[in-house]
């Protein structure tokens, strides 16, 4: 995978994590603290990280 594509995967991962945390602050956990949000989003963060690592290490098919 070229360095440019590696940065795209990393940037996409950061955006996904940020959107998950931001979204949970507004709807399901409105009024809760940051620790409650992180506990709620732990599964989402682990799954997103796992997918990003697979893409990062194995690259996309055909690249």
pLDDT at 34: 75
What is the pLDDT confidence band of residue 6, given thresholds at 50, 70 and 90? confident
> Is position 34 within any domain?
yes
Domain count, the chain: 1
b vs e for 33-55, b when ≥16 Cβ sit within 10 Å of the residue's Cβ? eeeebeebbeebeeebeeebeeb
Query: Which of 48, 39, 50, 46 minimizes the C-alpha distance to 15?
Result: 48
Tell me, what's the pLDDT at 60? 61
Domain of residue 21: give its range.
3-58
Q: What does the alpha-carbon distance between residue 49 and residue 8 come to, in Å, rounded to a whole number? A: 14
Asked if residue 24 is part of any domain, the answer here is yes
> Has residue 63 been placed in a domain?
no
* Mean pLDDT calculated for residue range 22-44: 77
Q: Is residue 28 part of a domain?
A: yes
């Amino acid at each position: 995978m070229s360095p440019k594509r590696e940065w795209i995967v990393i940037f996409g991962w950061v955006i996904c994590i940020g959107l998950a945390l931001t979204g949970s602050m507004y709807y399901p956990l409105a009024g809760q603290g940051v620790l409650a949000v992180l506990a709620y989003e732990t599964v989402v963060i682990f799954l997103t990280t796992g997918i990003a690592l697979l893409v990062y290490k194995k690259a996309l098919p055909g690249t």
